[in-house]
Amino acid sequence: MKLTQQVTCTSHQPPAVVSPGEVRVVGGPGGYINTADSPNVRIHFRRTAAGVVTVRIYDLHGRLVAHASKDGSAGTEDDLAWNAGGIPAGVYVVAVSGGRIDKHLRVAVVR
């Protein structure tokens, strides 16, 4: 089973308010991504320097399951959309780097 997917670069919804260098994952109440309710996840971030921000999502075995990159200027608040519907329930690591951001967040996907 091939799990690697592309995270979609979108600007359809206004991003959540995040501070410079902050990353926020929004996908469901209580911090869980419940794909039965909605598989759509938004990864919000604000660059502190111009450049490409790369988002990689790994399972706990270190396998890459999704990835995307987005370019922008310093101070730009941005987001990426991830459809988590095709992955098994479990804990995943969202790694965000670039634009002077280097963050790793854990997210739980439930069914």
List, for residues 65-110, the tens digit of each pLDDT value: 999 999 999 988 899 999 999 999 999 999 999 999 999 999 999 9
Mean pLDDT of the residues in the chain: 85
Q: Does this model's pTM top 0.75? A: yes
List, for residues 37-51, the tens digit of each pLDDT value: 889 999 999 999 999
What integer pLDDT is reported at residue 5 of this predicted model? Answer: 52
Q: For residues 29-64, b (16+ Cβ closer than 10 Å) or e, as one string? A: eeeebbbeeebbbbbbbbbbeebebbbbbbbeeeee
Task: Supply φ then ψ for residue 74, to 5 degrees.
Answer: -60, 140
- DSSP category for residue 73: -
**Alpha helices, H only, 1-109:** none
pLDDT-derived band of residue 16, with 50, 70 and 90 as boundaries?
low
Q: In sequence order, which residues have a C-beta less than 8 Å from that of residue 13 and are 6 or more positions away?
A: 42, 79
What is the set of domains in the chain, with CATH numbers?
5-110 (2.60.40.3080)
